[in-house]
Structure 1
Amino acid sequence: MSNFASLKFSLKESSDHIFSKIILIIQKKSESHHKEMVFETPFFISEGDWDYERQRPKNIYCKKYKELNFLLNEIKIEIQKLIQYYTRHHKNFPPKKFSSHIENISKSKIYSYEKESLLYLASNYIEQKKSSIQLSTYRRYIVFIRLLQNFEGHLMKRLTLQDVNAELVKKFQHFGVLEKYTQSTVIRTLHFVKTILNFSERNGYQIPVRNLDIPKITARKRLSILSEQEIVKIKRVKLPQEFENARDWLVISCYTGQRISDFMKFNLDQVLMIDGKACISFIQQKTGKEMLIPLHPIVLKIIKKNGGVFPKPIDVTHYNSFIKNIARAAGINNTINIRKRSGYRSYETITEKWETMSSHIGRRSFASNFYGKIPTPLLMQATGHSSEKMFLHYINPLNHERVLSLGNYFEKIYEERLL
């Protein structure tokens, strides 16, 4: 590539000022001057949707431009390979060859990864695991694949196992900063790459690095939970009749620790008595686990209040809207620092807690409020978590009740020593 100053995409001037054709510009560098070679692609885009600095659509995550960005990345990678080939062999490359290459990539409807490439091995790994992993895990793996595709476009290079080293990790972290990915997304993707290395080694591939040093996630995400005092506020606040069902389900979720896909389906047919204790038996939709948990006295009171049945189910969209209004009416308005999503990125912001309410807050509140009061293995049995590490992700590290409780212990011990 030493004979070339740049390879970039831009827009061709358009007479209608609505859509412009995307062009690829290769600037050849010689001792005396720079020579540009311009190749048209078959793609059009409005100037308002084009990012001149990054040379791609502004929003590469919307359905409209996701495929376009993928194809532009493929063109960059493949054209770069051609440039390197002709440069290495000291040949003048024919413009027709470049044009036909661009045309072939642009028309490609089915794409398969190059054999032995990192993405080829990653897609094989996902395919092998597809039948044994949850849909949410599969989707997360696909996100990692797309992120690596964009990274290849950024590097203009097809990655292989031999490319994976400490220097590549640094480049990927820098890429994550440029693209404004969260630290956790970048590090989880790197751990996925490490998984692919281990998978490849088990399948007979020679791995260039055995101990790839991947940084840990240093900042824990601040979770929004409801303290037990806030739950009491929600139980006592006067509400319009239309919010009663949502309030009941919110309280039930805080005392059962289940996802909305499970608790919103609770019914009396699932309830059974074991040694005089009312329990509920169900299969978790996400994990497929058979669950049997005792019903908290507060949940039993809600059932009794509702004439001996669970509240009427509510769809998730209405439920999320209702519980925000309920929390606001109950005065759950202390400000908290959270990550909020805007478009296809998230950012740090300070907001009132009621605005953060969603269907998962009950599950997090259950885990956080009872942690330290009930043995962790029993709580994990109730939530269905397989490992304590995963369970602890639900614990709010800044639980004020536990901080105050620790302070009370300090004072008690101090007073006892003075006696």
Structure 2
Amino acid sequence: MPRHPEVHFRLKAKNKKGDCAIYLQFIYNRNRLFFSFGQSVNFDDWNFNKERIKKKDKTTLEGKFFLNDLLERLQNLCLTSYHESMKDGIPNPAYIKTRLKNLINQNRTEADPEKSDFFLLADRFIRGEIKNRGKDKSISSLQNYHAVTKHLKNFQKATKYSITFENINLDFFYKYTTYLKDTLGLSPNTIAKDISIIKVFMGEAVDLRYTTNNEFRHKKFSYSEIETDAVYVTEKELEILYKFDFSKTKRLENVRDLFVFGAWVGLRFSDFSNIMPENIIEIDSEYFIKIVTQKTKELVIIPCHPIVLDIFEKYKHNPNKLPNTISNQKFNDYIKDVFKAAGFNEKGRLANDINLELWQCVSSHTARRSFATNYYLQGFPVIDLMKITGHKTEKAFMKYIRISKLDAAKRLSSHMKKMWSEKMLRVA
């Protein structure tokens, strides 16, 4: 008997046409399980070393699936059932055989191939067919689904690991994350996003009863994010930037004004770069921006800062009273040119790379971080800020706050002085 559980696929005797029925043999802890599942192969098409069909495009008798994929799913189901059950003792062969029968019966009764194909379900996400409580997914979410699906297909092609609902297990997790890290060179946070999206796909598959595989919910099936360090621009720096003369370089002037606008309204680039005339409203002689955000579909209402009103006046010739928008990629390139030209060359603002100058660290997202951080430092209530930024949880909001150690020390110093003054008044 082998020390570790082993799954083998054997052939029964040939018939007159040379075809052989395939059966599964599972050996574990002095148990031998034999399982026939109604599939056959020509004797000459069988690879006895790999225990797989030589022709990879060979399908099952129903023509719905690749036969090798079915063998892979059966093998993984055996091993998954074994490892899941071992915590309560050695599993009974009848239990494992029942799970194998359920898988085969599910395949036979499926009229819709989407119920057995991981990538067809992923495509439904990409098309926006699968919604969140009836709400459409954001464009960025659909793009993320597409990127993850592309990664998975490339992984499958490179490693020959079949991506099926039953194969999304810890073995897959270890192989896939290693592939993303070592082969594609992706960052930990990008890998973590990939894994979280795969969990979304699998959660939907379980809800739709396409699979009973819950191994993706294992505590080890997760990838830790690394908290990214990012900069923010102070109110004083925003004023300096806004007053800098870019009149001879209209391209940079437009980008500068769009960045400053974003830093005073706190919206994402996808929102503040696409403000429409109808988003600017007047209530009780005051101007507000009222918009449903693209990413979270949240309605937010933002009061217009005097600098925002000044920008509206400057660009009143445009329908939306703002500079002409450009792509996020070009904006991120140009905004660095803006800050560099304006002399923002201070080093040490980015804690994880103190040699970078400030202009090298800014992006479109810096505007939103600056808004959140500046008002947070002023003591504006977090719950009210969240209603403006559209964050649903305080944890998500606090990721936007970028406070340096000096900022924290200054806040503590101010608090100490305030408490001391109050104490002295009480004594007096």
Do they superpose with TM above 0.5? yes
Q: Which residue of 2 aligns with 1:182?
A: 187
Q: Which residue of 1 aligns with 2:325?
A: 315
Query: Equivalents in 1 of 2:410, 2:307: separation in Å?
Result: 25
Contact 1:265 1:313 survives alignment (8 Å): no
Letter in 2 for 1:281: K
Q: Would you say 1:159 and 2:166 are equivalent positions?
A: no
Query: Equivalents in 1 of 2:422, 2:236: separation in Å?
Result: 29
Query: Equivalents in 2 of 1:85, 1:229: separation in Å?
Result: 74
Q: Would you say 1:170 and 2:171 are equivalent positions?
A: no
Distance 1:289 1:324, change over 3 A: same
Distance 1:175 1:85, change over 3 A: farther
> Which blocks of at least 5 consecutive residues in structure 2 are unaligned?
1-42, 60-65, 67-111
Task: Return the match for 1:384 from 381, 390, 400.
Answer: 390
Query: Equivalents in 1 of 2:336, 2:51: separation in Å?
Result: 67
Q: What is the identity percentage for the equivalent residue pairs of Structure 1 and Structure 2?
A: 24
Contact 1:333 1:353 survives alignment (8 Å): yes
Query: Equivalents in 1 of 2:408, 2:258: separation in Å?
Result: 26
Q: Which residue of 2 aligns with 1:129?
A: 130
Q: Which residue of 1 aligns with 2:266?
A: 257
CA RMSD in angstroms, aligned pairs only: 4.3
C-alpha deviation, 1:183, in angstroms: 0.9
Give the alignment of 1:224-263 within 5 angstroms: 224-241=231-248, 242=250, 243-263=252-272
C-alpha deviation, 1:89, in angstroms: 8.6
Contact 2:139 2:294 survives alignment (8 Å): no
Query: Equivalents in 1 of 2:321, 2:356: separation in Å?
Result: 30
Length, aligned pairs only: 319
Cα deviation digits, residues 143-193 of structure 1 (max 9, x gap): 111212222234312133333333332222322321211111222222222
What SS is found at the alignment partner of 1:355? Answer: helix
Contact 1:222 1:337 survives alignment (8 Å): no
Q: Would you say 1:142 and 2:146 are equivalent positions?
A: yes
Distance 1:83 1:329, change over 3 A: farther
Instruction: Choose between structure 1 and 2 for higher RCO, CA contacts under 8 A separated by at least 6 residues.
Output: 1
Q: Which residue of 2 aligns with 1:6?
A: none
Letter in 1 for 2:147: V
* TM-score, with structure 2 as normaliser: 0.60
C-alpha deviation, 1:255, in angstroms: 0.7
Distance 1:233 1:218, change over 3 A: same
Cα deviation digits, residues 48-89 of structure 1 (max 9, x gap): xxxxxxxxxxxxxxxxxxxxxxxxxxxxxxxxxx99941259
> Which blocks of at least 5 consecutive residues in structure 1 are unaligned?
1-81, 106-111, 340-346
Give the alignment of 1:3-402 within 5 angstroms: 85-87=46-48, 116-126=116-126, 128-129=129-130, 132-179=136-183, 180-204=185-209, 205-209=211-215, 211-213=217-219, 214-241=221-248, 242=250, 243-266=252-275, 270-303=279-312, 312-316=322-326, 320=332, 322-335=334-347, 351-371=356-376, 373-396=379-402, 398=404, 400-402=406-408
What SS is found at the alignment partner of 1:129? Answer: coil
C-alpha deviation, 1:233, in angstroms: 2.2
Between 115-124 and 146-155, report the one with greater CA deviation: 115-124
